[in-house]
């Protein structure tokens, strides 16, 4: 009889472990959380991951100044971060990964708002332009303060 109880308990623990793993995968894929509108702003409460992950889901960070959300691409207005995809030098790619990771950390610290740029809806690559703000704090400015981005001057400057 005790062996039967141990087997049953082991089976139950295995089932629980599988369910927990499934829930973690679903959460990391961005399926939990919400995206709502508040006037012109989009209120985003999602778990973001790096877009280069196979399970990046519907909320991911591309680099230090852009992200994807529910099939759309977004760029933070007024900042420029190092490139990951086409860097000028290895140092820029390294800085680009650090910038992407910092933006992911900022996004995952709690709900934030995407406030569309009043001057231009999209950039030349079709990405929506706007500011990202949490509790009155501009997250683009936070990226600049942390050294992961700089003010955009109308053209990309070298990070090498």
At 95 the pLDDT is 97
CA distance 160 to 157: 9
DSSP state of 158: P
Instruction: Please state the pTM of the whole predicted model.
Output: 0.78
At 34 the pLDDT is 82
Q: How far is CA 125 from CA 66, 75, 160, in A?
A: 11, 10, 24
CA distance 109 to 50: 15
Residue 87: strand, helix, or coil: coil
Q: How far is CA 82 from CA 47, 109, 132, in A?
A: 23, 22, 18
Query: Any idea of the CA torsion for 99, 66, 131, 94, to the nearest 10 degrees?
Result: 10
Please list the pLDDT of the chain residue by residue as tens digits (160 residues).
Answer: 455 566 665 566 666 655 555 555 555 544 568 887 878 999 999 999 999 987 778 899 999 999 999 999 999 999 999 999 999 999 999 999 999 999 999 999 999 999 999 999 999 999 999 999 999 999 999 999 999 999 998 877 889 9
φ, ψ of residue 144 to 5 degrees: the values are: -65, -45
At 38 the pLDDT is 79
At 154 the pLDDT is 80
């Amino acid at each position: 009889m005790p062996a039967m109880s141990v087997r049953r308990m082991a089976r139950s623990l295995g089932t629980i472990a599988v369910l927990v793993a499934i829930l973690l995968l679903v959460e990391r894929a961005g399926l939990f959380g919400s995206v709502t509108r508040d006037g012109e702003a989009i209120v985003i409460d999602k778990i973001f991951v790096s877009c280069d992950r196979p399970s990046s889901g519907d909320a991911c960070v591309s680099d230090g100044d852009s992200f994807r959300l529910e099939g759309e691409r977004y760029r933070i207005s007024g900042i420029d971060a190092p490139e990951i995809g086409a860097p000028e030098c290895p140092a820029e790619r390294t800085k680009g990964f650090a910038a992407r990771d910092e933006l992911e950390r900022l996004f995952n610290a709690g709900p934030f708002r995407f406030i569309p740029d009043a001057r231009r809806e999209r950039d030349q690559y079709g990405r929506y332009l706007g500011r990202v703000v949490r509790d009155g704090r501009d997250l683009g400015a936070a990226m600049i303060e942390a050294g992961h981005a700089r003010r955009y001057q109308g053209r990309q400057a070298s990070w090498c």
